Structure 1
Amino acid sequence: MAFANFTTQERLVLLFLSTTLVVGGIVKWTKLQNTPVLQIKTSSVNAEMQAFDRASHELNATGTDLDLVKTDVQAESNQVNGKININQATSVTLQELPGVGPTLADRIIAYRTEHGPFTQVEDLTLVRGIGPKMFEKIAKTISTD
């Protein structure tokens, strides 16, 4: 197919398409030259660093640190035969007990801190909010060992 075999109108359309393609390529190439790749990568890394810093700051603001995480892991590892050791359990672990929410878990820990470790599971009834019915619910799931 020779260019001479096209009509005048077809030649104008081909010329227009070719010119548009070349001009579009030049514009795109110029924009890429004005935006260095290093700048793109740096801004991406900076955004990730800022997100990490925010998350780290939020963790520090809530008081979460490695010692608390380690304590929680140790308390979970002290569950014997599926029972929760009430002398070592954290608030989060105590909340796994049926009917125990954050407030009651904090009361158990406060009582334990003030009076020392529980010597028997029945001592848990000395905590305000744990009556005979509540104790019946959780008695099979707790231990003092």
Structure 2
Amino acid sequence: MADVTQATGFKRVQVLFREGRIEEGTLLLKALQDEYIALCDENSTLKRQLTEVADVLDLAQNVAYDGQKYWLEDGNERKGPFCQLCYDREGLLIHLQPHGKHWECQSCKSLFMTTKKETHAERKRVSPQFPLVLGHELG
């Protein structure tokens, strides 16, 4: 609808200028410019939000739950583990830290048992990274 309004608005500006009603044409043109700038700003915001949602969905497709914690599977590489509670509640991928025979979340202090599948070598591969924030600033 805005396209039709803008098109007819621009036609009206042309008519006003042809009729020598420069001041009216200038005011209408200024209003159309303001509307165009507002639409461009809204469009940029929507594109950014769409990209953020797509990133969240792409990442979510690579998150695997092993029954108690999450892992990020990137091709043949497995990263993690990540706290199940922080991810489910806040959408945050918080790395769990090895602590004896269990994993500990430094954010919510939850404890997760080490499974037999998780070898000592796999636990050593856990790289201390900052948490990945998902789903924020989408509003």
Same fold at TM > 0.5: no
Structure with bigger strand share is 2
* Higher relative contact order structure (alpha carbons within 8 Å, sequence separation ≥ 6): 1
Structure with bigger helix share is 1
Kindly name which structure, 1 or 2, has the bigger radius of gyration based on alpha carbons: 1
Give the alignment's TM-score, normalised by structure 2.
0.30
